Structures are given as structure tokens and as C-alpha cells.
Structure 1
């Protein structure tokens, strides 16, 4: 049978090993998408969104930039929705072909995010109206960021992912510090430390993978 060069078997053991390594690397790239897609969109959302919140609703009611009151939250929610879409599409393309225990674990973990934030919204909607306006904003941002940190810790423990676990711990430390500092300062801490931390995590993960 006449085989083309592309279909011909490896000429020696070294060529066969190199072919196996190339196939393994290709499979790894398909099953492990670019980590920047899971960190950079969220980092930009936090950096810009919480940054605008700080500029408009600063500590002790200070207004550093006289933006429309609706603008910071609108920008934050739009960027968060965009980040969620980017990460979801990247995850679906990479893990949609995975089945078995890993698939169930990922599905359950995704459900934890959905149910966790649904529960958070239900509680905050009941409680927020009892607080002054500045503390309402702090309640929403601190609880949402705190839940994000806890879920990152849980994900790191489930998959034994050191970077995810450390990122979750970092987010929680920032959230505690920002909450204790008070309304306004929390937005600044999360914008710089949280958004910057996500951008750095994605960059480091990409460099390590390369």
C-alpha cells in the first residue's frame, strides 16, 4: 500500500517519541485553554468597575470624579457579564468533550457558583434596605467578593490547583482589609489588589504553561 509522507509511520524510535509528545501537547492545549481567558476578563472588570466606584463613591462620601451615579455600577455589571461570557465559552470549548468524574465535578462546581450567588442576592435584598446608602454598597461588594474568594478556595481544593487556592486566599485577605477600612476604601482595595491580582495570576499561569 502506497502511503503519503503525512501518513507514513515514524522512521525510528526518536521520531515516534517526538510524534507522541506532539500529540500529547496538542491534547493538553485543547483540554487546558489559555488561562488568561479565565483571569484577565475578570481582572479588567474588577479594576475598571471597582475603580469607578471608588472615584464616584469615595471614603466619607467624597467624590473624586463627578460621574453620573448610575455609571460605575452599570460599567461593573456589563464588564462582569462580558467576563462571565468569555470564561464560559472558553470552558465549554475545552471541557465540553470531557466526560466522567471530571465532568460531574465541574458541573457541580458550576452549580455552587450559581446557587451561592442566588442565595447571596436573596439575603442582601432583604437586609440592604435597613442600612445607610454607603453601607448598602459595602454589603453588596464585600459579600460578593467574599463568596468569590471562598469558591476559588474550594476550586483549588477540589482540583489541587495551588494557583486557584492562593488566589482565593488573596481575595479573602483583601476583602477583609477593605471591609474593615470601610465604604469607599473597599472599592479601591479590590480594584487594585483584586483586579491586579487576577491579571497577574493569568499572566503567570500563561508564562508557566509556555
Structure 2
């Protein structure tokens, strides 16, 4: 009698573990490193708003002499770089995603674009009527407030607790910064907002590693 070369049958528990492992590997291949979602923005906020605090400090002081245009220019350049990193990472990860998930992502992206277009229109209309320090506070507070709201919306759409909690955190510190006043708002957003995004990225990475 010839020996049986067929492999032994796989029990149900082993089969389920193999299926779960394959599913986890597929998710890992489709989802980008969560730090790409948070860290570029965190660095941009930390440095950009940090420069605002140093140049336009509370009480009209200047902690670090620099041209008035430098903080805003640096912030826009850093945000632009963060957008490129985020877009490239997301495009590579989600290029094979179609259907409802892709539609959610595109609509959510449109909400960001239209939301900030509306913000720029409103703030640009009224900021000329305000003193320089209050105009700066208006722009930054509206931008951070919209960012927090959209983070919470994204967390609700994808049931992402980290994203939703980050939106709550940004909303809370934005209120604190506005109450503290011009100058202090930039410091609160630089440390609390930028630092919060860096922390959120690391926590997401650890959670993904421990619970793929």
C-alpha cells in the first residue's frame, strides 16, 4: 500500500487562526502607518504655531526677533509638506480600495476642502475690521476649531476612537487658548495640538501592533 502523501486535515480552530492572520496581513498592507496620518501635521503645528508664539507673544512682546511674515510662511510651507506626505501615503495604501469605503473617503476629503474654503471666505471678510492680534486669533481659532470638528466627524465615520478623541482634545484646547487670548493661543495649539497629534500617531501605531 502506497503511503498517503496528502497533508493531514486542518481542524476548525487552526483554520480560523489562519483566516484571522491572513485578514490581519491584508489590513496591514492596505492601511498606511498611522504615524503618516498624524506626525506630519503634528510637526507642522508644533513648529508653525511655536514660531507665532515666539514672534507675536502675549502682551505685544517678541520673544524671538524675526520678520513678521516668517511664522505664517513657515506654517503654510509645513502644512503643504504635511499634505504631500499624507496624500502620497494614503494614495499608496488605498489605491485598491473601492466601493463604499472609497466614496466615504472622497466625500470626507471634499468636506475638508469646502470647509476651509468657507472659513477663508468668512475670516477674510471680517478680519480687516479687527486689530492685528485679534485678527490672527480669529484665523487660527477658526482653523483649529474646524480641524477638531472634522477629526470628530472622521472618527464617527470610521469608528476610530483615536481620531475622535483627538478631535475632542483639539476642540477643548482651542477653547482654552481663545479664552487665554492672543499669543497664548499659539502656545497652547503648538504644544497641545502639535504634541497631541504626535502622541495620537504613536498610540495608534502601538494599538495597531498589539491588536492587528
Same fold judged by TM-score > 0.5?
yes
- What number of residue pairs does the alignment pair up? 202
- CA, structure 1 residues 132+105, in 2 after alignment: closer, same or farther (shift >3 Å)? same
What's the CA shift for 1:24? 2.3
Distance in 1, matches of 2:7 and 2:81, equals 46
> In the alignment, what sits opposite 2:83?
84
> In the alignment, what sits opposite 1:13?
10
Partner deviation per Cα, 1:81-109 (whole Å, 9 max, x = no partner) = 11111111111111221111111111111
> In the alignment, what sits opposite 2:49?
50
Q: Is 1:175 matched with 2:166? A: no
What's the CA shift for 1:146? 0.4
Say which SS state the counterpart of residue 32 (structure 2) adopts.
coil
Distance in 2, matches of 1:81 and 1:164, equals 21
Q: TM-score, normalised by structure 1?
A: 0.91
Partner deviation per Cα, 1:18-44 (whole Å, 9 max, x = no partner) = 654443232111221100000000000
Distance in 2, matches of 1:195 and 1:172, equals 13
Q: Are 1:10 and 1:16, in contact at CA under 8 Å, matched by a contact in 2?
A: no
Q: Are 1:46 and 1:194, in contact at CA under 8 Å, matched by a contact in 2?
A: yes
Question: Which runs of 5 or more residues in structure 2 are unaligned?
Answer: 1-5
- CA, structure 1 residues 182+27, in 2 after alignment: closer, same or farther (shift >3 Å)? same
Distance in 2, matches of 1:162 and 1:21, equals 22
> Which has the larger displacement, 12-21 or 31-40?
12-21
Q: TM-score, normalised by structure 2?
A: 0.90
Say which SS state the counterpart of residue 13 (structure 1) adopts.
coil
Distance in 1, matches of 2:120 and 2:152, equals 21
Distance in 2, matches of 1:174 and 1:158, equals 23
Show structure 1 runs of 4+ deviating over 2 A: 9-26
> In the alignment, what sits opposite 2:152?
153
Partner deviation per Cα, 1:146-188 (whole Å, 9 max, x = no partner) = 0000000111111111111110000000000001111100000
Counterparts of residues 1-210 of structure 1 (less than 5 Å): 13=10, 20-210=19-209
